């Protein structure tokens, strides 16, 4: 009787799904009447995730030594290594690079969040009686439509520009997986 077992493989590209998560978070938050603080924050965090996942994808394709050692690198170092390997010039003053830094600043503050106490002084004639904005953390201030859209669009442009050097003529966010196939189990893998 023939075996009913099958084997298969596929390659998944997490940066595509994280990009879609950032995009959907932004669009959903914008569709709410007063916007959505958590939706805009989610967009920024997903943006940091898709940036780092793309750098890991590109790094693993381009740099032989990329692997577990790369997990210890900060995202800025990953960007530098990948960019240098393909001759991509990083414009550190560009809005795209600023978006990169802002995305990781917010991600770091949220991922390592802990209670904070803020002390502030303000002029009620300029800031109102409560002075609420004087007490906000950076991640709170950035969780707005304006900042989330700026960070998402800048990061998107950075990846698209880098991808032109990594894989010319391809789009980095088209497909989240490839190479799906299946068939009879591989005898070498049989248990």
Nearest to 50 by CA among 176, 138, 137, 140: 176
* Paired sense of beta strands 177-183 and 7-12, if any: antiparallel
Non-local CB neighbours of 179 within 8 Å, separated by 6+ positions: 9, 10, 11
Q: Please give the DSSP secondary-structure letter assigned to residue 45.
A: H
Has residue 191 been placed in a domain? no
Domain holding 128, by residue range, is 11-175
* Contact present, 179 and 10 (Cβ < 8 Å): yes
Mean pLDDT (whole number) for 122-142: 73
Has residue 187 been placed in a domain? no
Has residue 2 been placed in a domain? no
**139-159 pLDDT, tens per residue?**
999 999 999 999 999 999 999
Averaged pLDDT score across all residues of the chain: 88
Has residue 5 been placed in a domain? no
| Residue 49 clears pLDDT 70, i.e. is over it | yes
Mean pLDDT (whole number) for 101-129: 84
Reported as a pLDDT band with limits 50, 70 and 90, residue 131 is: low
Non-local CB neighbours of 181 within 8 Å, separated by 6+ positions: 8, 9, 10
Instruction: Report which of residues 83 and 35 the model is more confident about.
Output: 83
What is the pTM for the complete model shown?
0.84
Give the pLDDT score at 128.
61
- DSSP assignment of 96-134: HHHHHHHHHHHHHHHHT-----------HHHHTTT-GGG
For the chain, percent of residues with pLDDT exceeding 90: 64
Has residue 1 been placed in a domain? no
**70-83 pLDDT, tens per residue?**
889 999 999 999 99
Has residue 188 been placed in a domain? no
Has residue 184 been placed in a domain? no
Has residue 62 been placed in a domain? yes
Q: How many domains does the chain have?
A: 1
């Amino acid at each position: 009787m023939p075996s009913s077992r099958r084997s298969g493989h596929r390659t998944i590209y997490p940066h595509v799904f994280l990009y879609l998560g950032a995009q959907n978070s932004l669009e959903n938050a914008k569709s709410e009447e007063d916007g959505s603080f958590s939706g805009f924050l989610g967009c920024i965090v997903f943006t940091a995730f898709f940036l780092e996942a793309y750098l890991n994808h590109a790094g693993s394709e381009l740099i032989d030594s990329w692997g577990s050692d790369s997990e210890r690198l900060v995202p800025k170092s990953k960007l530098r290594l990948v960019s240098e390997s393909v001759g991509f010039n990083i414009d550190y003053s560009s809005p795209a690079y600023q978006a990169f830094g802002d995305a990781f600043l917010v991600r770091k503050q949220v991922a390592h969040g802990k209670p904070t106490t803020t002390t502030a002084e303000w002029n009620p004639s300029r800031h109102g009686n409560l002075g609420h904005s004087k007490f906000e953390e950076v991640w709170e201030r950035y969780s707005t439509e304006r900042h989330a859209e700026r960070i998402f669009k800048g990061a998107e442009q950075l990846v698209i520009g880098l991808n032109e050097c990594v894989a010319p003529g391809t789009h980095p966010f088209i497909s989240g997986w490839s190479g799906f196939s299946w068939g009879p189990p591989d005898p070498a893998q049989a248990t």
